[in-house]
Amino acid sequence: MRYFIYMAYDGTNYHGWQVQPNGNSVQAELMCALSTFLRSETEVVGAGRTDAGVHARLMVAHFDHDALLDCTLLTDKLNRLLPPDISVYQVRLVHPDAHARFDATYRTYQYHVSLRKDPFGRHYAWRLFHTLDFERMNEAARTLFDYTDFTSFSKLHTDVKTNNCRIMHAEWTRKSETEWVFTIRADRFLRNMVRAIVGTLVEVGRGKLTIEGFRKVIEQKNRCSAGSSVPGHALFLVDVGYPEDLFE
Give catalytic residue positions.
Answer: 51
108 backbone φψ class: left, alpha, beta (φ>0; ψ -120 to 50): beta
* Cα–Cα–Cα angle for 98, 100, 103, rounded to 5 degrees: 65
In angstroms and rounded to an integer, the radius of gyration of the C-alpha atoms of the chain is 19
CB atoms within 10 A of CB 135: 10
Rounded Cα–Cα distance for residues 158 and 234 (Å)? 23
CB atoms within 10 A of CB 44: 21
What contacts 48, CB < 8 A, 6 or more positions away? Answer: 17, 59, 101, 104, 107, 189, 237, 240
